């Protein structure tokens, strides 16, 4: 069992992996910075707590509190509800207390009215209500009290969250543009491959010139060189094949004509009737060989015409009518009816760009086969659809099995049940001429049970 070739897109592969790795190499440092920033913010806020405690220690004393208790209480507690006072959103999340052995001496509006510390110097965490607080306690020997400065932990979390968002939002907003730019750059980088593929696809046996570009990326230079080498080999092989077919056919025509003349003379002068059957068989063999030579010449001419590229506008209506007229006598020899149906006629001339002789040869090959393989007293219909630009030749013969309809287009191939004389080149010539003129054609089953050959352009 053959392994199926897996196809994938280089553009999608590169885009996905470049974007994935770029985001990975961005997110990992961002996460590192986030956690490092969180630690630094913790240190900064802890330092701020300690500094606030020391500033508070330097600004107040036991005497100043005793003398100015009322004004301090007014400033710290009562002005909180004053709509004209300037406040900060975080003001209620920061607090301080002054505590001695008798209890709470002074506090801020945001601090609870009970000591919020176990009076252990340094940093600690406490829970007040539904919030967790970070506490710094400083002992004053001069005043014999403890200064407790606190800060709600959600301030720190909120700040860290804002810092993370400030870094993440631009990243997420720029990611689509980054993906687009990477895709465009890769598309432009792979454009030479698309150009090469398109140029190679347009090549045929008549134009196997080397690929040449004004600018060639170094990565595809080797590919272009290999393709050009292949074109050289194909051109040489094709030229040898064409010359061989043409030369062999030309060289065989004269000996075959002479052999046919001598055979007919022998048949006329022969007095021994027992040899007549053998001589007739020889004549049939010469006819088959002559037909093969004619077909080879026809195939060679098709290739030559392709190289000449002398296409003109051909009146296809007149060409089909000419083929029908020329082959009516051949059909009459088998008492067959050769019908010509002009479907959807219009005033406009139905034409095709091509070579007149080749188009005639293509149609005549199909009509000849239809006459040859259809039984006597049968009908063959040639339909020209002017609107859909389609020619159909339907016969009443045995037809061709669906599995073999593509195979019969190969050179020298004949179906296993093929009868009569033939070289296996007729449909190969049709296929070659149709390819030259970019005509789509296919073999189907006719309504009469025979073969229907359909041409469309």
What is the DSSP annotation of 294-346?
Answer: HHHHHHHHHHHHHHHT--EEEEHHHHHHHHHHHTHHHHHTTT-EEEEEEES--
pLDDT higher than 50, residue 1: no
Co-location of 287 and 419 in the same domain:
no
What is the C-alpha to C-alpha distance for residues 363 and 310, in angstroms, rounded to an integer? 19
User: Tell me, what's the pLDDT at 98?
Assistant: 86
For residue 386, what is the domain's CATH number?
A: 3.30.565.10
Report helix, strand or coil for 61: coil
Given a cut of 90, is residue 170 above it in pLDDT?
no
CB burial readout 188-221, b (16+ within 10 A) else e: eebebeeebeeeeeeeebeebeebeeeeeeeebe
Pairing of strands 122-128, 103-107: unpaired
Answer yes or no: do 329 and 287 share one domain. Answer: no
Let me know whether 102 and 221 are in one domain.
no
What pLDDT shows up at residue 323?
92
- Domain of residue 329 covers 310-456
**pLDDT given for residue 4 in this prediction:** 64
CA dihedral in degrees (136, 48, 160, 96; nearest 10)?
50
Greatest alpha-carbon pair distance for the chain in Å reads 162
Mean pLDDT of 417-427: 71
Q: Are 325 and 304 contained in the same domain?
A: no
Same-domain check for residues 122 and 230: no
Do 342 and 297 share a structural domain? no
Q: Contact, 299 vs 245, CB < 8 A?
A: yes
Residue 367 included in any domain: yes
Q: Residue 205 has which token pair?
A: 């046996």
Instruction: Give the domain-ending residue among 308, 335, 356.
Output: 308
Same domain, 59 and 120: yes
Q: What are residue 116's DSSP bridge partners?
A: none
Kindly state whether residues 132 and 228 are assigned to the same domain: no
Q: What is the C-alpha separation between 368 and 84, in angstroms, rounded?
A: 109
**Structural domain contains residue 190:** no
Instruction: Tell me what pLDDT residue 270 has.
Output: 73
Same domain, 298 and 373: no
Does a structural domain hold residue 154?
Answer: yes
Residues 6+ apart with CB under 8 A from 288: 421, 423
| Interval 316-331: pLDDT, tens | 999 999 999 989 988 9
Which of 280, 308, 336 finishes a domain? 308
- pLDDT higher than 80, residue 84: no
Please, what is the average pLDDT of the chain? 80
Number of domains in the chain: 3
Indicate whether 27 and 111 sit together in one domain: yes
Average pLDDT of the segment spanning 439-448 = 90
CATH code of the domain containing 286: 1.10.287.130
Residue 5 lies in a domain: no
Q: Do 340 and 431 lie in a common domain?
A: yes
Q: Which of 283, 308, 333 is the last residue of a domain?
A: 308
Domain presence at residue 187: no
Residue 203 lies in a domain: no
Which residue has better confidence, 389 or 119? 389
The residues with which 148 forms a beta bridge, in sequence order, are: 97, 137
For residue 453, the SS3 value is strand
Residues facing 98 on adjacent strands? 106, 147
């Amino acid at each position: 069992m053959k392994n199926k070739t897996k196809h994938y897109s280089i553009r999608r592969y590169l885009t996905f992996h470049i974007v994935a790795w770029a985001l990975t190499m961005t997110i990992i440092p961002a996460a590192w910075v986030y956690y490092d920033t969180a630690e630094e913010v913790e240190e900064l806020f802890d330092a701020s707590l300690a500094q606030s405690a020391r500033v508070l220690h330097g600004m107040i004393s036991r005497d100043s509190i005793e003398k100015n208790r009322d004004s301090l209480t007014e400033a710290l507690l009562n002005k909180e509800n004053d709509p004209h006072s300037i406040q900060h959103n975080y003001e209620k999340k920061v607090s301080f207390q002054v505590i001695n052995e008798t209890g709470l001496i002074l506090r801020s509006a945001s601090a609870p009215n009970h000591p919020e510390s176990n009076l252990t110097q340094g940093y600690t965490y406490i829970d007040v209500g539904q919030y967790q607080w970070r506490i710094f306690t400083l002992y004053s020997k001069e005043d014999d009290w403890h200064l407790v400065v606190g800060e709600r932990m959600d301030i720190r979390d909120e700040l860290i969250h804002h810092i993370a968002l400030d870094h993440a939002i631009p990243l997420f907003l720029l990611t689509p543009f980054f993906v687009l730019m990477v895709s465009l750059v890769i598309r432009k980088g792979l454009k030479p491959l698309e150009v090469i593929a398109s140029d190679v696809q347009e090549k045929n046996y008549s134009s196997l010139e080397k690929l040449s570009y004004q600018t060639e990326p170094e990565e595809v230079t080797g590919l272009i060189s290999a393709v050009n080498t292949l074109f050289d080999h194909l051109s040489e092989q094709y030229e040898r094949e064409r010359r061989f077919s043409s030369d062999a056919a030309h060289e065989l025509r004269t000996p075959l004509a002479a052999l046919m003349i001598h055979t007919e003379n022998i048949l006329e002068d022969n007095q021994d009737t027992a040899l007549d059957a053998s001589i007739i068989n020889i004549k049939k063999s010469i006819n088959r060989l002559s037909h093969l030579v004619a077909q080879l010449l026809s195939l060679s001419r098709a290739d030559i015409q392709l190289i000449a590229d002398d296409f003109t506008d051909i009146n296809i209506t007149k060409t089909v009518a000419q083929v029908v007229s020329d082959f009516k006598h051949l059909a009459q020899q088998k008492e067959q009816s050769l019908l010509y149906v002009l479907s959807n006629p219009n005033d406009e001339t139905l034409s095709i760009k091509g070579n007149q002789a080749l188009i005639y040869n293509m149609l005549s090959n199909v009509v000849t086969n239809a006459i040859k393989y259809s039984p006597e007293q049968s009908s063959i219909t040639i339909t020209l659809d002017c609107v859909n630009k389609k020619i159909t030749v339907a016969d009443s013969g045995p037809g061709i099995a669906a599995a073999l309809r593509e195979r019969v287009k190969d050179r020298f191939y004949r179906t296993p049940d093929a009868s009569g004389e033939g070289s296996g080149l007729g449909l190969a010539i049709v296929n070659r001429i149709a390819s030259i003129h970019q005509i789509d054609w296919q073999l189907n089953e006719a309504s009469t049970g025979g073969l229907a050959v359909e041409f469309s352009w």
